Amino acid sequence: MLKVSCVSYINSYPFVYGLSTYSNLKKQIELDLCRPSLCAESFLFNNSDISLLPVGALPHINKPYKIITDFCIGAVKSVETVILFSNYQMDDIQTVYIDTDSVTSAQLIKILFRELWCKEVAYIAQSEPLLRLPENSAYLAIGDKCFSLRKEFKFAYDLFEAWHELTNLPFVFAAWVSKSTVSHEFAELFNKALEHGILNKEKALKAYIHKNEKSDFNELLSYLENNISYSFDLQKQKALDLYLSKISK
């Protein structure tokens, strides 16, 4: 049985649904749901065979691996859940508190300040959500917490929109990565299970959304259908290559 780590955010519900319900696969895997940073940790420390890995962690893998499947967590327009929140305009921001849930966004914000906004700021790791910020500061948040944080701040800078302004490319936040020992046959079956989930986003949301979720169901379904782009195509591969080249600097 292969161990699979998958992000526990709403944008991954279709993946979870596909892997949990696709009859030819579900009995062959042990599925673990966790924050993106823990998905990366699990794969890096050999606790999982396949992981929905934040792409910012790819340079840290020192063992043979491969990106598998036709799917990812990506964006081709505003992503809504990777946001720099602030009560100050960009010119006035001097300090950025960075959500530690994902290394991808932590690297991306540094690229954007360096190459798009052309300013130096101080960065502080932040493990808990922030509702109040010091003067001239901002908070980079990722994931489901962004839905409730929007009403707390005057400004919300969508990191995908900033990346697209800089590069005119889509973006890949996380990709499916496997150990090189995973067979081609299993990878194809895994891909079919993910496709099954992507084709059933509404069922996935109904299956896993918390009953006390404050956000409107239709709003979340629209988020899955319109803000998250799941196909890992040639343009996203190009964007990923560019991102990796930039963080190598």
**∠ Cα 110 115 118 (to 5°):** 90
pLDDT at 211: 55
Q: Give the mean pLDDT of 20-47.
A: 92
Q: Give the mean pLDDT of 122-130.
A: 91
Helices H / strands E in the chain, number of each: 9, 11
pLDDT at 127: 87
Q: Do the beta carbons of residue 11 and residue 208 sit within 8 Å?
A: no
CATH of 2-76+170-247, one of 3.30.70.3420, 3.40.190.10, 3.40.50.1100, 3.40.50.2030: 3.40.190.10
pLDDT at 214: 53
Digit-coded pLDDT (tens) for 136-161: 999 999 999 999 999 999 999 999 99
Per-residue pLDDT at 122 exceeds 60? yes
Tokens encoding 53:
């890995």
The reply to whether the predicted model has a pTM over 0.75 is yes
Please, which pLDDT band fits residue 54 given cuts at 50, 70 and 90? very high
Q: Do domains 2-76+170-247 and 82-167 have the same CATH topology?
A: yes
Please, which pLDDT band fits residue 26 given cuts at 50, 70 and 90? confident
Domain limits of the chain? Answer: 2-76+170-247, 82-167
Q: Which residues pair with 67 in a beta bridge?
A: 177
Phi and psi torsions of 103, nearest 5° = -75, -25
Amino acid at 106: A
Cβ-proximal residues to 147 (8 Å cutoff; 6+ apart), any chain:
80, 81, 214, 215
CATH of 82-167, one of 3.40.50.1220, 3.40.50.2300, 3.40.190.10, 3.10.129.10: 3.40.190.10
Mean of all residue pLDDT scores within the chain: 94
Per-residue pLDDT at 23 exceeds 60? yes
Digit-coded pLDDT (tens) for 216-247: 899 999 999 999 999 999 999 999 999 999 99
